[in-house]
Amino acid sequence: MTEKEIQYKELVNRICDFTDEYGPKLRRHVASFQVSPIFDKDVDILFLGFNPAEGGQEANYKPEDRQLYKKRFFEGNPYPPETWAVGNGVSKRVPAHSKWNWIFNPCNDANLFQKEGLAEQVTSGNYMFFNLFFFGSPMSDDAGKLSDSPKDYSEALKKCTDFTIEIVDILKPKCVLCLSINNVFNKVKNATRSKVTKPLAGSNLSRFEHNGVVYYGMTHLQYPAMKKEYVQNIARFIKQDMKF
């Protein structure tokens, strides 16, 4: 076991102690990681969403399932990305967002990252994808409604943010693409007290660096402002800026 794996395993144990405390308060299960963490190399891109859009009222946190939740941090979503957009009732835990095909589905001809020469970076096994907020909720705007106490949610969100920064510091991707400005990019930026650096002209992509990792912030794909040209421009900018 490598030093990176040892550090990560110790961190996940601490995270599980935290989720054991806050999961029952928020009444939601743990579903952060969408793919397995990668230890044998520093991947080019880590995609960082806000919350896993998984589970309804039936997804309450069960302390007896701690090992199952823990497994998620090592094995990711038990269903492959190709099934995420199927929407055929495979599982209520699988978000049926066809928009993710633009990045993660290698079978999709409209994959804009591949069109910009980043096919290797978005091939399964070469990227990581997980969420800053560890607990499943239907939509990002609903996350704050998971608890009867706003204080519980605020504390959980802060702890999740701090743990996420630790995860990134251990796994050391070359860059992190935050899939929301307000819910992800700004939260990490503020927690690390980082300063935004000026992006390349015309990119409209926020950027800062922390502990040797470059963080980018983009508008979440669910918003109407999200256009194919915007995604393709982001892929182009990252390729130029990171020299992939």
pLDDT, tens digit (0-9, with 9 covering 90-100), for 59-80: 677 878 888 889 989 988 776 5
pLDDT digits (tens, 9 = 90+) for 205-235: 789 999 999 999 987 766 544 567 777 788 8
Q: Report helix, strand or coil for 89.
A: coil
Q: Which residue in this structure is represented by tokens 């912030």?
A: 217
Angle at CA of residue 163, ends 151 and 212, nearest 5°: 135
Distance (Å, rounded) from C-alpha 242 to C-alpha 11?
28
Q: What residues of the chain score a pLDDT lower than 50?
A: 84-98, 224-225
Q: What is the pLDDT of residue 33?
A: 86
Res 108: pLDDT: 62
Question: Position 73: which residue type?
Answer: F
Q: Is 152 helix (H, G, I), strand (E, B) or coil?
A: helix
Q: What's the predicted TM-score (pTM) here? A: 0.86
207/175 Cα distance (integer angstroms): 10
The pLDDT, as a whole number, for residue 80 is: 56
Distance CA 146, CA 160 (A): 15
* DSSP three-state, residue 16: helix
Can you list the domains of the chain with their CATH numbers? 3-242 (3.40.470.10)
Amino acid at 202: G
